[in-house]
Amino acid sequence: MPYTAPVSAPPETPASPAGPRHFARTRDFWFRLSEGRQVDDLWSQFTADARSSYGFYGKDVDWDAIKTMPGWRRPFHVAKQFFWALLLKLSPARRVLLFISLLLLLISAPKIHTGQYFIFDFNFESAAAALLLLLLSLELADKVTMKRDLEIAREIQSWLVPSHPPEVAGADIAFATRPQNSVAGDYYDAFFPGKGRDKLLLVIADVAGKSVPAALLMATLQASLRTIAGNNAPLADLVHGVNQYACAHSLDGMRFTTAVVGEYDLASRSLTYVNAGHNAPILRRVDGGLEKLEAGGLPFGIDADANFQIATVQFQPGDTLILYTDGVVEAFNANLEEYGNERWLAAIRNLPDVNADKILQGLMSGVDQFVGATRQSDDITCMIFRSSRA
């Protein structure tokens, strides 16, 4: 999602002798609570979180059965199924804790008046509130622990991909990735295999699935590709070896990987590539024409004996290659409209004559503006490879 610059603390101003000091304390408290964000920003975050939670729990609701009910009964059944969806995601002990707290709130409502002086009042609100607070603290502790572990995993994963593009004579490279969660199943790389610097290997891949399982398989893919490439294997042998390794770790094809692997020859300015079931990279010619790099075969990890077609494209000075994962074109906005291939191709067709980094910023800004405050639904990765004019 769009980068949000950190907000610095407000400057401390001396309280007016005649003014109440509690105003400054209230202001500081609100700043600490909201991290200095504006109300519009807080509301956008809340709506994005609420929409995401609704979709998460709504998966357990039997919407087809609810549609057959009379209109006046539907809200009650939706509320009931949402409650059970939430309840069943807690541990058994915490379900009992939540049930007791709700029961205490329920029996706290009645008030019995007998005669003129006798009043019998059930009042367990404080106990129910304490139990709910305890339940919240337990869930928060789990979330913080998991978040800490995921942050460590994210740091480790960042070591597997380049943080800066390599310097390539006669070419310009830029890339960016945005995990949906803390870790991603997307992989990108640009490096010189072996000891020479005459050929550059370009890779972009997307492991089926999201989060931790996909990230673990991404790590194994990176290791196998780097190992085989380090032996100066021809592209055909490299692709065959990576596919063999992926098939051995794909759970019978359930965890396949789409990828584009290309070998760029610096002397001839030609790219030999294989597209293994991935979104076709777009080659934008200097005159504005677009070509799709589609030659290849099945995704890695499906068929150990698969054959892959190898193709070659010739670059001219000023040509730009855009490699990306499906999270780019499948990003959607608040109206559940996809960004789509047509918008993506239109953005590429209208690219200005600038360097790879500015091209990347412009393309990602277009996706951001379309998505708005909607929470990201998939990992997003994009790589720009531009042949220099000079």
88: containing domain: 57-155
Tens digits of residue pLDDT in 125-142: 777 777 776 666 666 566
Kindly report the average pLDDT of the chain as a whole number: 81
Tens digits of residue pLDDT in 7-65: 444 555 454 454 567 777 888 888 887 878 888 887 877 777 667 667 777 778 888 88
**Residue 10, in any domain of the structure:** no
Tens digits of residue pLDDT in 324-358: 999 899 998 888 899 999 999 999 999 988 999 99
- Residue 2 pLDDT: 43
**Residue 83, in any domain of the structure:** yes
Final residue of a domain: which of 56, 77, 101? Answer: 56
Final residue of a domain: which of 125, 155, 185? Answer: 155
- Range in 3-12, 183-192, 276-285, 371-380 with the lowest mean pLDDT: 3-12
**358-384 average pLDDT score:** 89
- Residue 390 pLDDT: 61
Final residue of a domain: which of 155, 186, 217? Answer: 155
Is residue 213 located within the same domain as residue 358?
Answer: yes
Is residue 201 located within the same domain as residue 255?
Answer: yes
- Does residue 262 carry a pLDDT above 50? yes
CATH number at residue 343: 3.60.40.10
Is residue 218 located within the same domain as residue 305?
Answer: yes
Is residue 370 located within the same domain as residue 240?
Answer: yes
Is residue 205 located within the same domain as residue 352?
Answer: yes
Is residue 129 located within the same domain as residue 89?
Answer: yes
- Residue 77 pLDDT: 86
Is residue 315 located within the same domain as residue 377?
Answer: yes
- Range in 110-124, 194-208, 258-272 with the lowest mean pLDDT: 110-124
Tens digits of residue pLDDT in 267-313: 999 999 999 999 999 999 998 899 999 999 999 999 988 999 999 99
Give the confidence band of 253 by pLDDT, cuts at 50, 70, 90.
low
**Residue 3, in any domain of the structure:** no
- Does residue 233 carry a pLDDT above 50? yes
Is residue 334 located within the same domain as residue 255?
Answer: yes
**Residue 7, in any domain of the structure:** no
Is residue 185 located within the same domain as residue 103?
Answer: no
**Residue 2, in any domain of the structure:** no
- Does residue 112 carry a pLDDT above 70? no
Is residue 110 located within the same domain as residue 197?
Answer: no
Tens digits of residue pLDDT in 160-183: 788 889 999 889 999 988 877 766
**Residue 1, in any domain of the structure:** no
Q: How far is C-alpha 16 from the chain's CA centre?
A: 48
- Does residue 261 carry a pLDDT above 90? yes
pTM over 0.85: no
- Does residue 234 carry a pLDDT above 70? yes
Is residue 209 located within the same domain as residue 355?
Answer: yes
- Residue 20 pLDDT: 61
Look at the chain and report how many structural domains it folds into: 3
**Residue 42, in any domain of the structure:** yes
Is residue 350 located within the same domain as residue 287?
Answer: yes
- Does residue 251 carry a pLDDT above 80? no
**Residue 349, in any domain of the structure:** yes
